[in-house]
Structure 1
Amino acid sequence: MSATGIQHLQQRIAHHPDNPELHYELGRAYLLQKQAAPAAQAFAQALRLAPNHPQILMQLGNVASLEGNEVLASDYFRQSLAVDAQQADVQFNLANSLRKQGQLAAAIVHYRHALQLQPNDADMHNNLGNAWRESGELALAVAAYATALEHAPHMVHARVHWIHQKQHMADWSGLDAAIQEVRAALQHPQAQIPPFAFLAMPGTTDAEQTRCASLWAQAHYGHVQALPRQIRQANRRIKLAYLSSDFRRHPLAYLITDVIQAHDRTQFEIYAYSQALDDGSLERQQLQSAVEHWQDIAQLPDDAVAQHMRMQGIDIVVDLTGYTQNSRCGIVAYRPASLHVNWLGYPGSMGLLNGKPLYDLIVVDDTLQMPHLAEEAIVLPCYQPNNAQRPLADRGTRRDHKLPDDCFVFCSFNQSFKITPDVFASWMCIMQQVPHSVLWLLESNRWAVENLKKAAHQAGIQPQRLVFAPRADIATHIARQQHADLMLDTLPYNAHTTASDALSQGVPILTIAGETFASRVTTSLLKYIQLHELICHDWQAYENTAIQLALHPEELRALKQKVTAQSGRLFAPERYVKSLEDALITALNKQTAIN
């Protein structure tokens, strides 16, 4: 509804102040414009005039959800259902709220209740798929997305979810056509395409990925009113805040903890804003010890976190999550700091919001300075930091890891969604030319194991030559990689932390330099440690190099010695942090001068 329509409703309310329907319609009008505060006020007045009205209670829940307060939202939805449990829309909204809070089993119950009442609703099937996905039930998730598409064939986000989960399952049937449909949908300004899943789709370009991010940002944060511009206080330390959903036992901890710890405290005051729940891990404790101020934000809405940052006088926010799971990008949309930086979590641009970059800066290096970044680039010697050391356990023997003693071991510990048909076909070609070899893969999920074995058999490779490594604690996982001879990278989504893990153990990693951010991260690492011979330009060169190294042990031995000698440059957080600090100080001074 337009501003004129809202004004007309207000005039009617002036003449009929005790009419709850008019207050309700006013609340809906504000809600459509994503104006939470006046919407809440109008619905609250409607509820005073019509106590316990189930639809008014639902709308108050919708307002709370818009504000990011899912605990309050779910409470309103339950109050509404206590009055009338046969409301499909409220069952659905409660399920959505519970899923956002991580209460997946309860969410699935309410999605099913909603679908009993409205079995043909595509959105309900799609969101049930999301809950199944997050519960690890990938086959049920794919089936739910397929049902959503039966009812709404043009629901592009359901198609994206369907694609991405099939990629996780290494089920490649129908993907090419579906990916082309998604790419075509980018031409529509209202397209809702989850950016992270889009990164992993073969054939997508750098420009398309930034456009995807921009459409997502506009749809989700276009309503946000930025806080007034602040003037930075002079003659004090720079207040630097790290924002993340992964301050826990997570690969991020092995990249960033030592860098945060190494900041020059005479120049920087360090804050952490953590969306992650406390998992009680040593990694979490080390991260907490690395900062001066720690704020848990999982239960706080975006605007409250932004206001907290503003009250603290934060100068720079560095978001380490981006558009990955449990994203809190909405905080940055409020512009709480002088500078907002995109780094590490999301390998690509965060896009534009209302025609301007959602984030001011992105940390890259020369290899990753892509042509279509929305942000201004901070160009460092190397993009990816690392702790000085990885946690390490006893590596055991090859037999402990079900590896033959006398075989050449190719490995790839990337997640299964990164294994495309082209990647796997190349691996099978390599194995055909290296008969005394095995391929050591991460056991991502039971569907991927089964499908990859089938694909190997179809390619003429005995399935038992694929060895799947079960999930293990990080120290064991890193140590066991010492039994690998050569790591084979994936495209278009490279190994990132996984690449550094392998290099830390002296294992060479063979990659192809792609055309997008996510497809060039391994190239970035190898260039930094001057291992250019491991960077290939096409699949043929990739296969030839892998075969050459496997069949010529002396060449591989020399290469491993080179990796061991030079990879230490990647694990120097004190040196890394100095270049980062210099770049941030320069950018902040520039921003201060402009303001």
Structure 2
Amino acid sequence: MARNSFARAAAAEQGGNLEQARALYLESLDAEPRNPKALHRLGVVESRLGRPREAVALFQQSLAIARDLDVYLDFGNALSAISRWDAAATVYGAALRVAPDSVDAHYGLALSLHRQARPQEAEPHYRKVLATHSHLGEVHNNLGVALQDLGRLAEAAAAHREAVRLDPADAGAWSRLGVALHGLGQGGEAEAAFRKAVGFAPRDAESWHNLACLLEANGRMEAAIAAGRLAVALDPASARNWLALGNAAHAAERREEARRAAAVAVRLNPSDPTARNNLANALRALGRLRDAVAEYRAALDLQPDFPVAEVNLALALSILRDPDGALAVLRRLIARQPENGDAWRRMGGVLAEAVRPDLAVAALRNAVAVLPGDPDSHADLAMAASICGWSGLSADACRHVLRLAPDHAAALGQLVHEKRLLCDWRELDGLETRLLRRVRDGAEGVPPFDVLSCASTLADQRSAAARWAAAKARGVTPVVRPPASSSPSCADGRLRIGYLSSDFREHAMGHLMVDALETHDRSRFAVTAYSAGIDDGSALRRRFERSMERFVDLRRQTDADAARAIAADGIDILVDLTGFTTFSRTSILAARPAPVQVNWLGYPGTLGAAFVDYIVADPVVIAPGEEAFFAERVVRLPDCYQPNDRHRAIADATPSRAECGLPEDGFVFCCFNSSHKLTPALFDGWARILTAVPGSVLWLYAGTPEVAANLLREGEARGIAPGRLVFAKPLPHAEHLARHRLADLFLDTLPYNAHTTGSDALWAGLPVLTRRGTTFAGRVAASLLLAAGLPELITDGEEEYEAAAVALARSPGRLRVLRERLARNRTACPLFDTPRFTRHLEAAYLAMWDIHRAGDAPRSIAIDAGDAGGSASAAQEGKETT
């Protein structure tokens, strides 16, 4: 009867009547409980009925009675069905002891080991199967996955290629081939493989996910976003699909879409630290820095050892102007991972922003030691060294960058600038030519200030500035300003003027502007100074703080918070005094905190920005007809765009010539301009001047021994004896002005003139000889001289300049007349008449505001010389289309 029940059970099983088969197998076992075949087949039926645990128990009973290969194989399958991979591997191993050549046992063991993250042990079993069954594409695929897990990508790709050869319509095989090729850096072939996969299985979300990741890695962001959107549409419950979409949107600067995608990923998998980090990145890009910090901290709560999130958290804290918090995070990370180059680099950035460039250099030296092939680390080191004044180190770091990334425009510009500062003119012509070619080719990242000292045109300068400004404005959200009104927003009817600067301190710009800001008519103008720079504790800083109606320190505020603060103050006209110089905060302007925004004084050129309305100039520095080269509308003051401080102290005591290293007799030419303004061609001319004036010397400012050594070498190459070049050491400002009395004539530079140094010389009573250039930076000294009443000291060519210098040196009487005129004019000439200057500036502000109040677009303005009374009736030039 038992035999009859077993036969009927087997027939029912074969016919698919599983419940009937189960009952008959049980009937058979009632009659013969230790029948291994009945136990085996009942186990198979239980598996097919979805009861693998019951099946496992039956297979164990069967094997306890008799060792049978088929039972082992079915036992292994049942264990695999409940993800008992360790037990399944044990069973398949036992099967191989029964039948060492069993293909099924080798394959089952391979899969079980692979599922336990033991690909190295799985590999030989996959290969054993393929030795006799090479036609099985699925096995080639699984072998490929194991090889990829082992990092053997080329072998993995070969295995997947064989799989798709065997079954060209296998979408999964094409997708896995794409993954291997992507890992090998073969982007084009990888994309083709993924395209095959989605062609054969257009609803396979995995393949669309893989394609999105590849396209994002290859910089094809729009295509990556499209693929990512398909992946999430097909499988919206997959957090990794949302992460892929978010990564692509973040890279494409689609910030809100990136945030939404990352937020969904976090909702689907709230315990995934990577999703939290990605959401934080998206929030940071949106300017929601405090929310980003919370998400970074949540990621680190889930995974405390998460260096990427730690570095990102430090970056967010740094942007929030919390350097102490950022440094605390980084120090903890570096204590754990002293070889983490990203952490050292971020620490260098935080320290540089905190104006600790010496410590920043130390940190960045560690970064480049750990990451010698990372151009950005070398670029950061170059910048920190430059802030320290270590031009040699900065130049070396720039060279490293350019070896690693030959098209790195910022490093090229900085290298040119550092070589100029060092007066190391070797190879300079070629570097400048290369830099200007990059500007004219439309390269991004060329620092505009570095272009000013080159033989650049106004068009070059606008081109570089426009791209720089656009980069600074990227991602900036405009602030909400108080409701516009037809009259000044100040409750007492005064126009609110805000001055934004990093230089309210002992700085050239500070000395120039302090008197003009102090002399504003407070009955008509409410003046606020917004300081974005350091408090250096100087007397000049204290003077700014005392004399301004309001002095607001923004240094610890983010750009966004600073812009909101300015907007909340109801500023009508915001004047940027820093431009593209060190520690500028251009992103504040990009947020448009004021309805009228002005570029003045700090930067001798256009900012190239749509968010700046006007540039304050004069008819000399921006000649009529040059408006097209300026993104701003040009406001021309009648005398000189540059203010001066009537209270600049000049020390009473004059040092002796001997104390300054000068000869007792002989003509003293001098130039106290920054060394970056000196050029080989200029030095050629100075050598000719010295040769033509026997016994004369050239007195220069050299900030470092390296600069002096380079200039002595260049002088010797031009036949100048070393004793004819004398170098001035740094002195306090009043003493520096006093030593001007020892010189006879100040020789100006080109293409970048004396600016503050020129007005310093004239204030100290020293005539300045200049050449008029072709750009703003090269015409400032001409403007100063016209306003000082010394137009005959302006020349228009190299020969005229050299001839004038020699003639003046040979004509002491004529030079004395010039000195006497300068002395007489000092208290009366427009250059040093600060109240007159400020009335003209105020007239310009009123004209700007009248245009804005009328609802008109900004247009050029010319202030009449007779408008020193400060009326708002300044002449306004015709509207422009450029």
**Same fold? TM cut 0.5:** yes
Distance 1:136 1:11, change over 3 A: closer
The Cα shift of 1:325 comes to 1.3
Q: Does 1:364 align with 2:653?
A: no
The Cα shift of 1:240 comes to 1.5
Output the CA distance in 1 between the equivalents of 2:560 and 2:283.
Answer: 18
Which letter does structure 1 place at the counterpart of 2:591?
Y
Q: Secondary structure at the match of 2:526?
A: strand
- Whether the 8 Å contact between 2:358 and 2:385 is mirrored in structure 1 is no
**The one of 822, 828, 851 aligned to 1:563:** 822
The Cα shift of 1:567 comes to 4.2
Q: Does 1:338 align with 2:590?
A: no
Please name the residue that 2:836 is paired with: 575
- Whether the 8 Å contact between 2:481 and 2:567 is mirrored in structure 1 is no
Please name the residue that 2:756 is paired with: 497
- Whether the 8 Å contact between 1:398 and 1:404 is mirrored in structure 2 is yes
Q: Which runs of 5+ in 2 are unaligned?
A: 1-247, 857-882
Which letter does structure 1 place at the counterpart of 2:841?
L
Please name the residue that 1:421 is paired with: 680
Distance 1:37 1:216, change over 3 A: farther
The Cα shift of 1:64 comes to 3.3
- Whether the 8 Å contact between 1:91 and 1:111 is mirrored in structure 2 is yes
5 Å matches for 1:137-216? 137-189=390-442, 191-201=444-454, 203-216=455-468
Q: Does 1:252 align with 2:509?
A: yes
The Cα shift of 1:69 comes to 4.6
The CA deviation string for residues 262-292 of structure 1, in whole angstroms up to 9 with x for no partner, is 1111111221122333333221222222111
Distance 1:289 1:5, change over 3 A: closer
Distance 1:10 1:286, change over 3 A: closer
Q: Does 1:585 align with 2:846?
A: yes
Q: Secondary structure at the match of 2:508?
A: coil
Bigger radius of gyration: 2
- Whether the 8 Å contact between 1:511 and 1:542 is mirrored in structure 2 is yes
- Whether the 8 Å contact between 1:54 and 1:81 is mirrored in structure 2 is no
Distance 1:134 1:172, change over 3 A: same
Deviates more, 1:472-481 or 1:280-289: 280-289
The Cα shift of 1:34 comes to 6.7
The Cα shift of 1:252 comes to 2.3
Q: Secondary structure at the match of 2:316?
A: helix
Output the CA distance in 1 between the equivalents of 2:417 and 2:396.
Answer: 13
**The one of 554, 559, 566 aligned to 1:297:** 554
Output the CA distance in 1 between the equivalents of 2:572 and 2:324.
Answer: 30
The count of aligned residue pairs is 590
The Cα shift of 1:306 comes to 1.3
Larger relative contact order, structure 1 or 2 (CA cutoff 8 Å, min sep 6): 1
Please name the residue that 1:383 is paired with: 641
**The one of 763, 771, 794 aligned to 1:512:** 771
Q: Does 1:326 align with 2:583?
A: yes
Which letter does structure 2 place at the counterpart of 1:346?
Y
The Cα shift of 1:5 comes to 5.8
Deviates more, 1:69-78 or 1:413-422: 69-78
- Whether the 8 Å contact between 1:95 and 1:106 is mirrored in structure 2 is yes
Q: Does 1:471 align with 2:740?
A: no
Deviates more, 1:41-50 or 1:566-575: 41-50
Please name the residue that 2:3 is paired with: none
Q: Secondary structure at the match of 2:673?
A: coil
Deviates more, 1:168-177 or 1:319-328: 319-328
Output the CA distance in 1 between the equivalents of 2:755 and 2:405.
Answer: 36
Please name the residue that 1:540 is paired with: 799
Q: Secondary structure at the match of 2:854?
A: helix
**The one of 359, 363, 381 aligned to 1:106:** 359
Output the CA distance in 2 between the equivalents of 1:327 and 1:439.
Answer: 34
The CA deviation string for residues 305-353 of structure 1, in whole angstroms up to 9 with x for no partner, is 112112222222222111111112221111112222211111111112x
Which letter does structure 2 place at the counterpart of 1:223?
G
Deviates more, 1:461-470 or 1:279-288: 279-288
The Cα shift of 1:66 comes to 4.4
- Whether the 8 Å contact between 1:69 and 1:300 is mirrored in structure 2 is no
- Whether the 8 Å contact between 2:516 and 2:837 is mirrored in structure 1 is yes
- Whether the 8 Å contact between 2:481 and 2:568 is mirrored in structure 1 is no
- Whether the 8 Å contact between 2:689 and 2:806 is mirrored in structure 1 is yes
Output the CA distance in 2 between the equivalents of 1:80 and 1:593.
Answer: 57
Please name the residue that 2:470 is paired with: 218
Aligned Cα root-mean-square deviation (Å): 2.2
Output the CA distance in 2 between the equivalents of 1:593 and 1:41.
Answer: 46
Please name the residue that 1:86 is paired with: 339
The Cα shift of 1:426 comes to 0.6
Which letter does structure 2 place at the counterpart of 1:227?
V
Output the CA distance in 2 between the equivalents of 1:501 and 1:43.
Answer: 51
The Cα shift of 1:8 comes to 4.4
Please name the residue that 1:449 is paired with: 708
Which letter does structure 2 place at the counterpart of 1:533?
E
- Whether the 8 Å contact between 2:789 and 2:822 is mirrored in structure 1 is no
The Cα shift of 1:38 comes to 6.1
Distance 1:334 1:6, change over 3 A: closer
The CA deviation string for residues 359-413 of structure 1, in whole angstroms up to 9 with x for no partner, is 2211100112243111112211211111114211112332332222221111111
Q: Secondary structure at the match of 2:529?
A: strand
Q: Secondary structure at the match of 1:559?
A: helix
- Whether the 8 Å contact between 2:420 and 2:675 is mirrored in structure 1 is yes
Distance 1:254 1:16, change over 3 A: closer
Q: Secondary structure at the match of 1:270?
A: strand
Please name the residue that 1:310 is paired with: 567
- Whether the 8 Å contact between 1:128 and 1:141 is mirrored in structure 2 is yes
Q: Secondary structure at the match of 1:186?
A: helix
Output the CA distance in 2 between the equivalents of 1:220 and 1:111.
Answer: 24
Which letter does structure 1 place at the counterpart of 2:327?
S
Output the CA distance in 2 between the equivalents of 1:507 and 1:539.
Answer: 21
Q: Secondary structure at the match of 2:386?
A: helix
Output the CA distance in 2 between the equivalents of 1:193 and 1:69.
Answer: 29
Which letter does structure 2 place at the counterpart of 1:209?
Q
Distance 1:248 1:33, change over 3 A: closer
Distance 1:6 1:274, change over 3 A: closer
Deviates more, 1:511-520 or 1:64-73: 64-73
Which letter does structure 2 place at the counterpart of 1:392?
I
Output the CA distance in 2 between the equivalents of 1:70 and 1:189.
Answer: 35
The CA deviation string for residues 48-76 of structure 1, in whole angstroms up to 9 with x for no partner, is 43345332222222333445554443343
The Cα shift of 1:37 comes to 6.1
Please name the residue that 2:543 is paired with: 286
Please name the residue that 2:530 is paired with: 273
Q: Which runs of 5+ in 1 are unaligned?
A: none
Deviates more, 1:113-122 or 1:167-176: 113-122
Q: Could you state the TM-score of these two structures normalised by the residue count of structure 1? A: 0.94
Output the CA distance in 2 between the equivalents of 1:319 and 1:509.
Answer: 29
The Cα shift of 1:246 comes to 1.4
Q: Does 1:392 align with 2:646?
A: no
Output the CA distance in 2 between the equivalents of 1:92 and 1:403.
Answer: 46
Q: Does 1:402 align with 2:661?
A: yes
Output the CA distance in 2 between the equivalents of 1:424 and 1:176.
Answer: 14
Output the CA distance in 2 between the equivalents of 1:15 and 1:315.
Answer: 48
- Whether the 8 Å contact between 1:362 and 1:378 is mirrored in structure 2 is yes
Q: Does 1:263 align with 2:533?
A: no
Please name the residue that 2:5 is paired with: none
Output the CA distance in 1 between the equivalents of 2:330 and 2:645.
Answer: 45
The Cα shift of 1:35 comes to 6.4
Output the CA distance in 2 between the equivalents of 1:587 and 1:87.
Answer: 52
Output the CA distance in 2 between the equivalents of 1:159 and 1:281.
Answer: 35
- Whether the 8 Å contact between 1:142 and 1:166 is mirrored in structure 2 is yes
Which letter does structure 2 place at the counterpart of 1:483?
L
